[in-house]
Amino acid sequence: MGPLHLGDPIGPHQVFGGGGVLETAYYVNGLCYLPFFGGLWSSAKSGYLGFSFQVGGQTYYGWAKLINLKTFSPLDAAVKLVEYAYENTPGMAIAAGQ
């Protein structure tokens, strides 16, 4: 898992690389932190994370804008969720930042 760029498509036919793993999300003082272990978030200042979710058997696509907060080691990073959006038409792709 690695950061996407503004305008990158997120949908049913995209495959993303990067090699990291999202372990969990946690909240501290009202902020959402997402620790990533490995991958490209360690060195990225910010980027877009593509995601999908299902409601009623329908798949929706979206993005979250993440900003790198702190690097724990060359392979670990924590990021802050600052924006997000999703396409409200099932199965329809969305562009990162749209």
pLDDT of amino acid 19: 47
Tokens describing residue 21: 């793993």
User: Is residue 3 a part of any domain in this protein?
Assistant: no
**82 domain residue, yes or no:** yes
CA distance 86 to 79: 20
Q: What is the pLDDT of residue 80?
A: 76
The whole domain housing 23 covers 9-95
Q: What is the pTM of this model?
A: 0.70
Residue 4 counted as domain residue = no
Q: Does residue 69 sit within a domain? A: yes
24 in a domain, yes or no? Answer: yes
- How would you label 11-31 residue by residue, b for 16+ Cβ within 10 Å and e otherwise? eeeeeeebebeeeeeeeeeee
What is the structure's pLDDT at 90?
96
Positive or negative, the Cα torsion across 13, 42, 65, 31?
positive
pLDDT averaged over 10-residue windows placed end to end, the chain, 98 residues:
80 65 56 55 71 91 82 59 92 93
pLDDT at 56: 96
Kindly state whether residue 74 falls inside one of the protein's structural domains: yes
Number of domains in the chain: 1
Residue 1 lies in a domain: no
